[in-house]
Structure 1
């Protein structure tokens, strides 16, 4: 069995049907159904990647903002002057706070988990998370482009098989009429 070509993340490449007669071993209906299933799978993967892209595009600015805040706190570590800030207690309630020590920060990691880090550890963690998110976003964009190409290829294949079937039906009809059925009117 021949190996199926795929992109780096394992999405299979759609075969291009150059010669419909050679490719189509079964009936047209079965081939078209198979192609529609492949298109549906590619569109499912495309929707998942679009959701993932949207998630990454919202996370990256938050990571950058958090990293900027950690960098600000690092810059104020040697200062004896407290940092005055406002923070949100609820949707419409804000409070003022004075921060005297800036050597540790608490970071939300998700799933209701918060951990305390030194500012240096937090900076390293955020830099690695930001880098990973950017790489993931690049990969998602590449996958989306690849999926669009595969969907287009499968749609072209579908049209080629359908058109070939129409051509064969017309040819069969013309041969039937030439063989003596030319006087009869075709009934549906």
Structure 2
């Protein structure tokens, strides 16, 4: 009894861990599975399994898009942190910092920036805020850690999703094969005609 409770708790924890992705349950005994309520015909069960499979595909597409966004976001954050570290070194001097601003695609403008302890960061949704360099650096380091952690979590979720694909495909094959055997048993004349 205790082992059953522990395994069900572990299953519940893994469902929360993987962004609410439902776990595909492996059908061990197809005969018993087909006798469950709602599993009237093999075609109906195969449709349900195919629908579940398509949902997994949709989830995979969404997770892959999130992964691409994070993969492009992390280098941008790192680059901004490098610039902030450079500005931090320059803020104690009186020498202006020479830089280039991107005006348009492949069009840059040279500028001399006097030492400063303030920077403006784009937060998204057309919002920019001014920060002290130390505050900006702390914010970006926190964002980098969060983005890295989210990327690792997405990788785990994608691995979990691939396992669900495999389980669902195997279940579909098992139900289909069960149905073929059942039909051959019900209609032995077709199997004798073939031999």
Q: What's the TM-score, normalizing by structure 2?
A: 0.85
* Higher share of residues assigned helix: 2
1:15 matched to 2:25? The reply is yes
1:24 matched to 2:38? The reply is no
Please give the alpha-carbon distance, in whole angstroms, between the structure 1 residues aligned to 2:162 and 2:16: 13
Please give the alpha-carbon distance, in whole angstroms, between the structure 2 residues aligned to 1:91 and 1:64: 22
> What is residue 168 of structure 1 aligned with on the other side?
182
Name the CA shift for 1:17/1:165 in 2 (closer, same or farther; >3 Å). Answer: same
From 75, 78, 86, the equivalent of 1:64 is 78
Structure 2 portions without partners, runs of 5+? 1-7
Please give the alpha-carbon distance, in whole angstroms, between the structure 1 residues aligned to 2:104 and 2:159: 41
1:116-172 alpha-carbon deviations (Å, 9 max, x no partner): 111001000100000000011001100000000001100000000000000011111
Q: What's the TM-score, normalizing by structure 1?
A: 0.88
Q: CA deviation at 1:7?
A: 4.9
> Alignment RMSD, CA only?
1.9
Q: CA deviation at 1:93?
A: 3.0
From 93, 101, 105, the equivalent of 2:107 is 93
8 Å CA contact 2:34–2:42 kept in 1: the answer is: yes
Structure 1 portions without partners, runs of 5+? none
Structure possessing the higher radius of gyration over alpha carbons: 1
